[in-house]
Amino acid sequence: MTFCRPWIGFLAMTSGLLFAVPTPARPVFREDCLILAQGLQLQPYGAQGQTGAVGANGQPGSNADNLTLFADGSPLTLNLAGKDGSRGENGAEGTPPDCGNQPLEARQNLQAADGGNGGNGGNGGDGGNGGSVTIYAANLENLRQIFVTAPGGKGGQPGAGGQGSQGCLCTQPYWTVETCNGSPGSPDYRCTTQEFRCANGRNGVNGNNGLAGRDGLPGRLTVLNLNKPLESDRPTATVTLTTLKDNGFTLSKNRWETRQGATALLAPGSVIADEYLILAERIERSFLLIWNAPQPFRSFAERTVTLGLDDRQEIQATFPDNLWLEGATQKRDQVTEFVVYNALNAGDATQLGNLVLTGNETNLKLFVTDQAGQSNLVKTQFKLKYRTTQADPRFRPPTDYTTRFDGDVPQDLVNLRGNQFVINLGQLPIAPEHLRPGLGVEVELTAIRTFSGYSAEQRLVVRDVLSSARNLPTPPKAPVPAPPQAPAPVAPLNFPQAPAPVVPLPR
């Protein structure tokens, strides 16, 4: 027999010449030439199998109820176990492919249909939590009579993954198709044979198993060494001065501790979380306002104060910014008393006004009126800037001001006459030619007012022309200070407290 080439290959034509190219495919030998179909795309036939349905997740177990009870020494059994989670469902098997019939004498490689993948299994349901129990016991030995079973429920088992279905198999793995060119018997008559193949379908992949459910948490024990319901915390409050003066007010805080060894407190064999919570201390502190100030209380009665327990379990009072108080704190047992000696509305500290310049040269004076009449309580320090101009500054702001003095006013140059300050400007270190009559001046006065640790500033400006004659304003008569009032008698304390509901305790 005659072959184009006794080797494995396929024929190619270049420049009118046929030659064989090696290939790893299985050869087909003929007495003419042969060619193998290589590198051709696979043409699928049939319908692919479908992925199976995912298994449903298991249902979670229900939590057990929480209980609150008083222990009086009577035997008691409590079943507070959480319910188990249910099992996850299995994934469905992959659906088989529709293989159909393999096409015959196809002039291309074929791919049989793949099997369907199995569905994933469902997750197991989580176990329910065990119930927690809160026990009031005046005698902790009474806990030994209470048997508690409060484990968490078991997590459900996972569902298994579904099986993948089998892929289709080719009925004819290999076949050949002959193609001839030219007329038989002529020199250019050539025949080639192409071989094609069919690939079997792949089997479907098995689905993944689901995840096991988590076990529930065991219940927890809370112990209160009390024989009555626990009152709620009230570590902060905002109340009026009237309430603090008439009744006082009580703040409270429950201090808890976390300890180990819960089962040792209960009847032998009890099942519960080892860590438990116990009320270590109930802290109660009271605050009372004692008004010994000469100012009428009714002017301040509805002002509010914020009270709070600090880390040292002491009450701190925060008064509003617009209320200035002079007082002292004293403690008596668990009661904090705040005694007020003087009270002032903050706005009254900045009511200076009615500035008047009189005289000239060394007799130049500046009069300032305290319109709130509080200068007998409030300390005042003045700063002053003195500027001069050749123009009249009363009607149009000049542009040629020159500063002649800028600094603090010595206290010995300030006199207080009733509600009026008299500042001797002519005694400041200012050259005489800058104090002469007819000179335009601007005086900028800054008053720093302080009272019992509080402070405020007020800026005032007066512009005038110094004259040789001006009637001095008649200072108003200073008010006669009211005699100090005797301290009001302190009524028996009856501190208001919040109602005493049973507190939702921390878990």
pLDDT over 90 percentage in the chain: 75
Question: What is the rounded average pLDDT of the residues 362-383?
Answer: 95
Question: What is the rounded average pLDDT of the residues 94-107?
Answer: 92
Question: What is the rounded average pLDDT of the residues 216-225?
Answer: 96
User: What does the DSSP assignment read for 76-107?
Assistant: EEEE-PPPPPPPPPPPPPPPPPB---PPSS-S
Question: What is the rounded average pLDDT of the residues 40-62?
Answer: 92
Find out whether 131 and 235 touch, Cβ atoms under 8 Å: no
Find out whether 310 and 235 touch, Cβ atoms under 8 Å: no
Which H/E stretch holds residue 181?
Answer: strand 174-181
**pLDDT at residue 395, rounded to an integer:** 85
User: What does the DSSP assignment read for 306-355?
Assistant: EEEE-TTS-EEEE--TTEEEEEEEEEETTEEEEEEEEEEEGGGGG-EEEE
pLDDT over 70 percentage in the chain: 84
Evaluate if residue 22 carries a pLDDT over 90. Answer: no
- pLDDT band (50, 70, 90) for residue 40: low
Helix, strand or coil, per DSSP, at residue 10: strand
**pLDDT at residue 183, rounded to an integer:** 86
Evaluate if residue 35 carries a pLDDT over 70. Answer: no
**pLDDT at residue 469, rounded to an integer:** 55
As a whole number of angstroms, the distance between CA 266 and CA 281 comes to: 22
As a whole number of angstroms, the distance between CA 327 and CA 305 comes to: 15
Instruction: Dump pLDDT digits (tens) for 206-216.
Output: 999 999 999 99
Choice between 304 and 29, residue whose per-residue pLDDT is larger: 304
Which H/E stretch holds residue 176?
Answer: strand 174-181
State whether CATH 1.10.3210 applies to domain 351-465: no
**pLDDT at residue 3, rounded to an integer:** 34
Evaluate if residue 490 carries a pLDDT over 80. Answer: no
Question: What is the rounded average pLDDT of the residues 474-493?
Answer: 40
pTM above 0.75, yes or no: no
Question: What is the rounded average pLDDT of the residues 36-60?
Answer: 85
**pLDDT at residue 331, rounded to an integer:** 92
Instruction: Dump pLDDT digits (tens) for 149-174.
Output: 999 999 999 999 999 999 999 999 99
Evaluate if residue 140 carries a pLDDT over 60. Answer: yes
Which H/E stretch holds residue 420?
Answer: strand 420-424
User: What does the DSSP assignment read for 259-275?
Assistant: EE-HHHHSSTT-B--SE
Which H/E stretch holds residue 457?
Answer: strand 454-465
Beta bridge pairs of residue 444 = 385, 461
For CATH 2.60.40, the residue range(s) in the chain are 351-465
Evaluate if residue 304 carries a pLDDT over 60. Answer: yes
Find out whether 387 and 441 touch, Cβ atoms under 8 Å: yes
Average pLDDT of the chain to the nearest whole number: 86
